[in-house]
A = this chain, B = another copy of it.
Amino acid sequence: MARLPEYLRALHNLAETGHETVSSEGLANAAGVNSAKLRKDLSQLGSYGTRGVGYDVGLLIDQIEYVLGLTQRRAVALVGVGNLGHALAGYDGFASRGFRIAALLDADQERVGEEINGLVVQHIDELPRVAAEESIAIGVIATPAAAAQRVADQLVAVGVTSILNFAPCVLSVPEGVDVRKVDLAIELQILSFHEHRKASLTALPAAGGSALTALPGGLAVTESQEAIGT
């Protein structure tokens, strides 16, 4: 389930604020989901809370971290140390959430040798050696779109089976390799769509427009968070 990491983050927050147990409703609130959904997710997971009491925060954290495979600190290789790559390399949120940036790689000789956050940028051709030394589990692509497919192929070639792609393009990978994409422009465009929809609704409260102007009203967008509490 894609919501498990969200629960995990909320649980860590709760643990830091001293809570030892939490009810499904409390955790659901903290994670921004329905309590029934949360209970169903957690029951799928096999972990058990105590009826009448709730869930043991520490136990649940361990359970979720186990299922997510976070018991081992996975090594991440970051390819493309440009504008975005720098920000990612300097981000401490990875380390605190179960990951270790094990290598920074770039094709630009100008960048090779640069040190960021205690790591030295290496040339992309070093990838096979680095992968062997560090047993890279996840590859992050932060290169321009034109280079992304090639980098993906290189990552796959050295045995990486999970890729996080920031370049705005679709990657072709062999079966068994997982790709997740983050595209900021797409996120903005989805927001823009909602803006447009909202504008159309207020401007034309009682239908009337052409098929085109009336259209945006009925479309749905998933994965969004709208209007949670106040």
Interface residues of chain A, those whose CB is within 8 Å of chain B, are: 1-2, 4-6, 8-10, 13, 30-32, 44-46, 66-70, 74, 76, 83-84, 86-88, 90-91, 93-94, 97-99, 137-138, 161-164, 168-199, 211-212, 215-216, 219-230
Given contacts A67-B215, A91-B84, A188-B99, contact A4 B176 (CB under 8 A): no
In the bound complex, residues from chain B placing their C-beta under 8 Å from that of A187 are 164, 180, 182
In the bound complex, residues from chain B placing their C-beta under 8 Å from that of A215 are 45-46, 67
Name which of A44, A172, A193, A219 has the most chain B CB atoms within 10 A of its CB: A193
The reply to whether B176 and A5 form a contact with Cβ atoms under 8 Å apart is no
Minimum CB distance partner of A167 in chain B = B93
The reply to whether B170 and A94 form a contact with Cβ atoms under 8 Å apart is no
Q: Of B93, B180, B222, B227, which contacts A2 at CB under 8 A?
A: B222
Per the bound structure, the CA–CA distance linking A56 and B91 in Å amounts to 43
The reply to whether B224 and A179 form a contact with Cβ atoms under 8 Å apart is yes
Tell me, rounded to whole Å, the shortest Cβ–Cβ distance linking A162 to chain B. Answer: 4
Tell me, rounded to whole Å, the shortest Cβ–Cβ distance linking A164 to chain B. Answer: 5
The reply to whether A69 and B185 form a contact with Cβ atoms under 8 Å apart is no
Given contacts A32-B170, A84-B87, contact A177 B227 (CB under 8 A): yes
Per the bound structure, the CA–CA distance linking A4 and B83 in Å amounts to 27
Tell me, rounded to whole Å, the shortest Cβ–Cβ distance linking A118 to chain B. Answer: 15
Per the bound structure, the CA–CA distance linking A184 and B9 in Å amounts to 12
Other than the given A6-B186, A93-B168, 13 more pairs (CB < 8 A) read A1-B220, A5-B189, A9-B185, A30-B170, A31-B170, A46-B211, A67-B193, A68-B192, A94-B184, A138-B191, A173-B228, A175-B226, A182-B187
The reply to whether A178 and B164 form a contact with Cβ atoms under 8 Å apart is no
The reply to whether A190 and B195 form a contact with Cβ atoms under 8 Å apart is no
Minimum CB distance partner of A97 in chain B = B185
In the bound complex, residues from chain B placing their C-beta under 8 Å from that of A223 are 2, 180, 222-223
The 7 closest A-B pairs by CB, nearest first: A69-B196, A175-B227, A162-B191, A87-B87, A32-B170, A5-B189, A97-B185
The reply to whether A46 and B212 form a contact with Cβ atoms under 8 Å apart is yes
Minimum CB distance partner of A221 in chain B = B2
